[in-house]
């Protein structure tokens, strides 16, 4: 299908994709697919003002009714899954199966949020004073700014937006400047859902701002934006956190990962191989949850490493829109250079590199296809402490499980982790307080590909935010504690006497 048809299928118009100053290229072959108009700082401020007006109306709509809008959004997404999934692939280069998976995740979180809209539970609390009741109520927080990264141009917006909308918050998206088209297409889908919902959905409830960091900074600077959810690099998260701290605004930070797998002697190695390969080369190693460090017991090392090298040699690398491709391109030449530099550093630190060369340059001279790399390391050296956003899998050996867990936890990031083992003592130890220090700790499953039902996020430099399932919804609301005195006297708490 010609690229222009993919844009058209998502109802993107010439006004949105031509004549602007933001050049959008596809990583599939490096060609230009759009020149997108960008928003100015004044446009962003106007969007916040519209969202503010929308908030005054939306917060009064009963939560289950707000859920109906998200239900309609889920219906639209079901209809558009194929078109939007293809656009995700075209714009960020992940294989079509993963592009479709991203849209499925959007549908799943909509379903979750619809149920949630009837379960925004508060508490009743026993009061120490006679004739008094206490309760805790959750109210909408206000406008939610959603800043997202290039590698997941669709799903993280929905993890935030679906929850924020049922919680009563208007949302303003600021997608990556590398992948604005997917968000523009999502905005179209939202506009249709709002139209179907009717007049209860106020103008300005769901908006999109296109631009670089300056546009995102309008969201972080504005005291009217109650919550900023920011997905991206650690450097971005630190800048956003500092800006938000100036006004003590609420943040949800979803930043870089440096995820590990420990494989113990009792592991089912067939399962481990599949999990390793999917989580290390999926999205060409450009997932926040990509497997980057493999910590192998000495007893399985010599079986597993040659096996993995062989599987890597047989991977189908190519056009991510084509059926059968398993590894697509990196987002751009800068990412390919970063991968090459990291491999050089790893070699200088004593590593033995398998794979990792640039490939398909004859067929796609403008693109950045790289063969995924496995790097055998003598120890966990400095390069292994950084997140290189590319398909590099470092492998180290261990003999004692506590040493393996210490290696896993020794990096600054704390997003995802896993162990492959059939020994319950090992797996429970890994999940215990002495085990993984990550927000996600899996057993016999790779570190990537989370379901929406759980809270998603990580510790340390990953930022501490939680999105998606469990009680992540609370971040989009403000908590109110109320004490009601229905007696005819005014006893003070703690028995304090204050006679006037």
Residues annotated as catalytic (active site), given as ranges: 254
Any contact of residue 241 with ligand NAD (CB under 6 A)?
no
The count of C-alpha atoms lying within 13 angstroms of the C-alpha of 126, restricted to the half-sphere facing its C-beta, is 1
DSSP-based three-state secondary structure for 177 = coil
Q: Which stretch binds ligand NAD (CB under 6 A): 87-95, 251-259, 261-269, 353-361?
A: 251-259
**Total chain residues near ligand NAD (CB under 6 A):** 30
Cβ burial of 325 (10 Å; 0-12, 13-18, 19+) is middle
Any contact of residue 146 with ligand NAD (CB under 6 A)?
no
First to last CA, the chain: 82
Any contact of residue 157 with ligand NAD (CB under 6 A)?
no
Residues β-bridged to residue 467: 456
- Residue 50 Cβ vs ligand NAD, minimum distance, rounded to whole Å: 20
Cα-only R_g, the chain: 24
Measured from the CB atom, the residue of 382 and 424 that comes closer to ligand NAD is 382
- Residue 16 Cβ vs ligand NAD, minimum distance, rounded to whole Å: 18
Kindly identify the residues of this chain, within the stretch 270-299, that bind ligand NAD according to CB under 6 A: 288
Any contact of residue 143 with ligand NAD (CB under 6 A)?
no
In the shown chain, the binding pattern of residues 333 to 372 toward ligand NAD, with x for contact by CB under 6 A and - for none, equals ----------------------------------------
From candidates 389, 420, 473, 476, binder to ligand NAD by CB under 6 A = 389
Any contact of residue 25 with ligand NAD (CB under 6 A)?
no
Residues 315, 288: Cα–Cα separation, whole Å: 21
Any contact of residue 475 with ligand NAD (CB under 6 A)?
no
From candidates 22, 239, 410, 443, binder to ligand NAD by CB under 6 A = 239
List C-alpha distances in Å: 490 to 222, 480, 493, 495: 41, 21, 10, 11
Any contact of residue 254 with ligand NAD (CB under 6 A)?
yes
List C-alpha distances in Å: 242 to 139, 172, 228, 409, 475: 26, 20, 12, 26, 19
Any contact of residue 147 with ligand NAD (CB under 6 A)?
yes
Query: Could you tell me which of 388, 331, 330, 387 has the C-alpha nearest to residue 359?
Result: 330
Asked whether 396 and 305 are in contact (CB, 8 A), the reply is no
In the shown chain, the binding pattern of residues 428 to 467 toward ligand NAD, with x for contact by CB under 6 A and - for none, equals ----------------------------------x-----
């Amino acid at each position: 299908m010609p690229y222009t048809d993919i844009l058209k299928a998502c109802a993107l118009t010439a006004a949105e994709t031509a004549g602007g100053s933001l050049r959008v290229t596809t990583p599939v072959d490096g060609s230009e697919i759009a020149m997108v108009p960008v928003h100015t700082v004044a446009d962003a401020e106007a969007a916040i003002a519209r969202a503010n007006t929308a908030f005054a109306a939306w917060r009064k709509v009963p939560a289950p009714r707000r859920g109906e809008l998200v239900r309609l959004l889920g219906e639209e997404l079901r209809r558009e899954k194929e078109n939007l999934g293809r656009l995700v692939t075209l714009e960020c280069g992940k294989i079509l199966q993963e592009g479709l998976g991203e849209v499925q995740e959007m549908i799943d979180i909509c379903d979750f949020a619809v149920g949630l809209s009837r379960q925004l539970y508060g508490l009743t609390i026993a009061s120490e004073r006679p004739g008094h009741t206490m309760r805790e109520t959750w109210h909408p927080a206000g406008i939610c700014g959603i800043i997202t990264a290039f590698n997941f141009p669709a799903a993280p917006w929905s993890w935030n937006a679906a929850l924020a909308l049922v919680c009563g918050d208007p949302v303003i998206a600021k997608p990556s400047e590398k992948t604005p088209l997917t968000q523009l297409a999502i905005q179209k889908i939202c506009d249709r859902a709002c139209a179907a919902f009717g007049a209860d959905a106020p103008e300005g409830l769901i908006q999109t701002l296109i631009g670089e960091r300056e546009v995102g900074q309008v969201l972080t600077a504005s005291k009217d934006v109650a919550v900023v959810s920011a997905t991206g690099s650690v450097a971005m998260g630190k800048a956003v956190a500092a800006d938000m701290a100036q006004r003590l605004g609420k943040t949800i930070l979803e930043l870089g990962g440096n995820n590990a797998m420990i494989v113990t002697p009792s592991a089912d190695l067939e399962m481990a191989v599949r999990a390793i390969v999917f989580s290390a080369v999926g999205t060409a190693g450009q997932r926040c949850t990509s497997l980057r460090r493999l910590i192998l017991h000495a007893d399985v090392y010599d079986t597993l490493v040659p096996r993995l090298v062989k599987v890597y040699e047989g991977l189908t690398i190519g056009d991510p829109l084509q059926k059968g491709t398993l590894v697509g391109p990196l987002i751009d030449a800068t990412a390919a250079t970063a991968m090459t530099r990291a491999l050089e550093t790893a070699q200088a630190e004593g590593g033995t590199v398998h794979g990792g060369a640039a490939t398909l340059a004859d067929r796609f001279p403008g693109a950045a296809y790289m063969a995924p790399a496995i790097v055998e390391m003598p120890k966990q050296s400095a390069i292994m402490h950084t997140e290189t956003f590319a398909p590099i899998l470092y492998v180290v050996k261990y003999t004692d499980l506590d040493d393996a867990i210490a290696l896993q936890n020794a990096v600054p990031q704390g997003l995802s982790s896993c162990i492959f083992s059939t020994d319950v003592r090992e797996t429970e130890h890994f999940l215990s307080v002495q085990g993984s220090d990550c927000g996600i700790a899996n057993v016999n499953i790779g570190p990537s590909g989370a379901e929406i039902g759980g809270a998603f996020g990580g510790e340390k430099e990953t930022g501490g935010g939680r999105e998606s399932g469990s009680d992540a919804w609370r971040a989009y609301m403000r908590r109110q504690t109320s004490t009601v005195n229905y007696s005819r006297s005014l006893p003070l708490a703690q028995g304090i006497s204050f006679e006037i």
